[in-house]
Amino acid sequence: MEVFCRTEFPDQTSRLSYQLFVLLSTYVTPFIGIIIMNSMIVYKLQHKVCHHMHFTRMFVADDYIIG
């Protein structure tokens, strides 16, 4: 004899609402979080590289003016 556990919902709307909540909380929300965090990392790295290149150019330009 096989026993199956099954959740019973009062109506179809409740079942669909629950499935939507599970889908969003399991897959969509973490995926959006990953995209936001990765884009912030890329932005910070690009900003750091541009900032570093700006100062490097300033020092090189100063060497030509002084030398």
d(CA 42, CA 35): 11
Alpha helices in the chain, H assignment, sequence order: 12-23, 29-66
> Is pLDDT of 2 > 90?
no
pTM for this entry: 0.60
Average pLDDT, integer, range 2-11: 89
CA quadruple 11, 13, 15, 17: dihedral, nearest 10: -150
pLDDT number for residue 6: 86
The confidence band for 65, taking pLDDT boundaries of 50, 70 and 90, is: low
pLDDT number for residue 1: 80
**Where exactly are the structural domains of the chain?**
28-66
Q: Which residue has the tokens 């909540």?
A: 21
Backbone angles phi, psi at 3, to 5 degrees: -115, 130
Render pLDDT for 12-63 as a digit per residue (tens, 0 to 9). Answer: 999 999 999 999 999 999 999 999 999 999 999 888 877 666 666 665 555 5
Calculate ∠ Cα 42-50-63, nearest 5°: 155
